[in-house]
Amino acid sequence: MFEIIRNLTRRKLRNGLTVSGIVIGVLALTTLGAIAEKANYSIDGGVRYFRDHVSVGAAQNGGFGGGLLTVDKAKDIQAVDGVQAACAATGVSAKTDLDFSLSFGPGDQVTAEQPGCQQYSTFKLTYAKGHAIDETGTGQVVLGSDIAKEFKVNTGDTIALPRPPKKYNPDYVGHDFTVVGILDKTLTAPDNFAIVSFKDGQTLFGDALPAALRGRVDPTTLATGINVYAKAGVDLDKLAQKINDTVPGVSAIAPSTLVNAFKSASVFLTAITTGAALLALVVGGLSVVNTMLMAVTERVREIGLKKAVGAHTYHVLREFLTEATILGVVGGLVGLGLGWGLALGINAYFASQNQNELFLVTSRLVTFALAFSIGLGMIAGVVPAVRASRLDPVTALRYQ
């Protein structure tokens, strides 16, 4: 093994450049993979989050208030066969400024659902700190892990929602809330949720209405959506269809439609990662092949000598394969280290700018990147190693 390492250090520049090729490939693989992992986790979370209920909104081309949904629609939906609970909900942006941040996650939302509805959701929220809000009260908020970090607040703190604009805006209306709980990280939508009581949610929604409507409608009759939970064994897609068929003025979205949309995004991101892997394969692989072929050419006499003193074909094969694999391992470790460091650095920067993290370096990504680089070295080393092992000792010994 020492000899192999010495052989590698004998041509420092050449092997350094080869390792650099692998480093670039694995760096690309790690960083793009970490972006894809982050997005895929959000997507998986979205799938889990949206799969347990039917989302109902106002019909686009009809209904009261040009698309506004009234709470009493929940009662109509409740009457549909197969519905266990129809819960009116509100969701408004937690920020009043336009958010141009680069983020794959849903935007920061202040969400609310009618009291007693959480029990129907299979997506259970757990608390890192504090406890749930009083669903019938006002002035309390539970924050998702990301939004709590972004707004730099802790349990017991008071926070104005929606967040005040950076520049003065005469239309801004904010309300103070006491943070009573912070959720565990879910890696999906609730990480960016500020959960308030339905009463507060309606108030915030009323404030967010266009100026022309404000004061003309009673916010306590309004909702932005209805979450419909089905009885056991009921197909949610069929239930959505049934709601659309029987309840006028609403539009129920089949969960499979949302899930499929998430999954196609996931396929796209996986394609990006695969592309990075292919890039690494081409850049790193070809440089390893080139380097190892040069090493074989340079060391023909050595190979001849080793065969003369008793080395079998497999000894020579193993030696060159090990050498190529070490190039892969070193390139992989350095590339992974740099990629990981870059991801942590950028994540830290985003956090300092109150933005969501962009990268997620998972154990499976680390394992894949390392396995990939080791496999790359080995595979790229096969041709040179076979060539070395098949050298005729007489020809090799007298090679000039």
Partner 1 sequence: MAAIEMVNLTKHYKQGKNVIKALDGVNLKIDTGEFVAVVGRSGSGKTTMLDLLGLLLRPTAGTVIIDGVDTSKLKDGDRATMRGESIGFIFQEFNLLPTLNALENVMLPLRYTKKDPQGEARAKRLLTEVDLADRLTHKPAELSGGQSQRVAIARSLVNNPALVLGDEPTGEVDNETSDQLLDLMRRMNREHGVTFVIVTHDMDIAQRADRIIRLKDGKVASDEPIGAREGAELAG
Q: Which residues bind partner 1 (CB under 8 A)?
A: 3, 6-7, 10, 301-302, 304-313, 315, 393-394, 397
What SS3 class is residue 174? Answer: coil
In the complex, what is the shortest distance from the CB of residue 293 to partner 1, in angstroms, rounded to a whole number?
19
Query: 8 or 179, CB closer to partner 1?
Result: 8
| E strand map for the chain | 54-58, 69-70, 83-93, 109-113, 127-130, 140-143, 158-161, 175-183, 193-195, 222-223, 225-230, 250-253
Residue with tokens 């937690």: 94
In the complex, what is the shortest distance from the CB of residue 310 to partner 1, in angstroms, rounded to a whole number?
2
C-alpha distances (whole Å) from 187 to each of 49, 147, 261, 265 are 11, 12, 18, 16
C-alpha distances (whole Å) from 286 to each of 23, 26, 278 are 13, 14, 12
In the complex, what is the shortest distance from the CB of residue 19 to partner 1, in angstroms, rounded to a whole number?
19
Query: 72 or 392, CB closer to partner 1?
Result: 392
Inter-residue contact 295 to 319 (CB < 8 Å): no
Query: 6 or 124, CB closer to partner 1?
Result: 6
C-alpha distances (whole Å) from 16 to each of 19, 74, 306, 388 are 5, 66, 26, 22
Residue 307 main-chain phi, psi, to 5 deg:
-65, -40
Query: 173 or 305, CB closer to partner 1?
Result: 305
In the complex, what is the shortest distance from the CB of residue 399 to partner 1, in angstroms, rounded to a whole number?
11
In the complex, what is the shortest distance from the CB of residue 9 to partner 1, in angstroms, rounded to a whole number?
9
CA 253 to chain centre: 24
In the complex, what is the shortest distance from the CB of residue 7 to partner 1, in angstroms, rounded to a whole number?
6
In the complex, what is the shortest distance from the CB of residue 1 to partner 1, in angstroms, rounded to a whole number?
11
In the complex, what is the shortest distance from the CB of residue 331 to partner 1, in angstroms, rounded to a whole number?
21
Number of H helices, E strands in the chain: 11, 12
In the complex, what is the shortest distance from the CB of residue 312 to partner 1, in angstroms, rounded to a whole number?
5
Query: 238 or 315, CB closer to partner 1?
Result: 315
Rounded Cα distance between 303 and 387, Å, is 11
Find the angle CA(335)-CA(341)-CA(344) to the nearest 5 degrees. Answer: 140
Rounded Cα distance between 125 and 89, Å, is 17
Rounded Cα distance between 381 and 376, Å, is 8
In the complex, what is the shortest distance from the CB of residue 320 to partner 1, in angstroms, rounded to a whole number?
14
Query: 53 or 299, CB closer to partner 1?
Result: 299
Query: 122 or 313, CB closer to partner 1?
Result: 313
Rounded Cα distance between 264 and 275, Å, is 16
Query: 312 or 364, CB closer to partner 1?
Result: 312
In the complex, what is the shortest distance from the CB of residue 393 to partner 1, in angstroms, rounded to a whole number?
5
Query: 75 or 312, CB closer to partner 1?
Result: 312
**Closest Cα partner for 179 from 154, 147, 161, 160?**
154
Rounded Cα distance between 239 and 353, Å, is 43
Hey, CA dihedral for 344, 347, 349, 351, is it positive or negative? negative
Query: 305 or 374, CB closer to partner 1?
Result: 305
Query: 175 or 318, CB closer to partner 1?
Result: 318
Rounded Cα distance between 22 and 283, Å, is 7
